[in-house]
Amino acid sequence: MADPKMMFEGLAVALVTPYRNGLVDLVALARLTNHVVEGGTRALYPCGCTGEATSLTREEREQVIRTVIEAARGRASVIPGTGTAVTSETIELSQEAIRLGADGVMVITPYSCRPTQEGLLAHYRAVADRIDRPMVLYNVPSRTGVSLAPETIAKLAEHPRIAAIKEASGSLEQASAIRARSGIAILAGDDALYLPLLAVGARGVVSVAGHLVPREMDAIHAHASAGRFAEAETIHRKLTPLFRALFLETNPAPVKHALMRLGMMAGELRLPLVPVRAETAAIIEQTLERIGVAAPVRSGG
């Protein structure tokens, strides 16, 4: 298993799931995994929201997890998303991911059913009790309709296997409140808030932009960790147009378009997601050119 101290530090990438002709493109996934790992990524999060997890069958989830683990070759932790709206299913998916060799699991708050804070406590504890790897809580109320309260997070952090939270509420106040109540590792869930969250105690980011600019995203953490916030801010300012462009439409449509334009994969999505509009595509392409993102040199993987 990966070193727990390194699993929740610095750059992690929320991997897209490449498709070609309607099927998961495992060759492109392995190539993408190698690209981001070579760029300094310390952890890989397949089968999350960016990976269109709700569109994957169980067999496809297994294929994706196996492929990422094999392509990473121990160079980065692999922490698949395993959360669903049903606790029993979340337990099954988490156990399966660990059986396949995952270093941990990320569990999104149950969506649609809108559980109470008491329900969230019971859900996460039930899952954590049935696994033997670290769990990352995933708080993204814009997608699920429910938010983990800082007090709830503090209680969950007492569990020996609940180690981190991907905090994607978009609130600095929320992150500060978590820090005030718990020592749980906070991972930014929004690229645009990565540097501000580092300033209030976050330890890393689960990034979308990291597909395209892994070295720059890794450098933000390196500079901030060394107290060089001016240097970190310079990179943050350079990348801000990219952060904005990648969320002009529903993620992962914009980043898939960017990866397609860079020749790394087809830009396919699964319904109900559709490709970005022409005007959005133009902004993405102009942004890539303006910040100097070019197609990577392929080497192995």
Catalytic positions, written as ranges: 138, 166
Helix (H) or strand (E) holding 156: helix 150-156
Look up residue 203 and give its two tokens: 């330890």
Look up residue 164 and give its two tokens: 């981190």
Name, in order, each residue with C-beta under 8 angstroms of 122's C-beta and a sequence gap of 6 or more.
Answer: 87
How many other CB atoms are there within 10 angstroms of residue 4's CB atom? Answer: 16
Contact 106, 83 (CB under 8 A): yes
Contact 128, 159 (CB under 8 A): yes
Nearest-angstrom CA–CA distance, 107 and 166: 9
Count the alpha carbons within 13 Å of 61 in the hemisphere toward its beta carbon.
28
Nearest-angstrom CA–CA distance, 154 and 1: 26
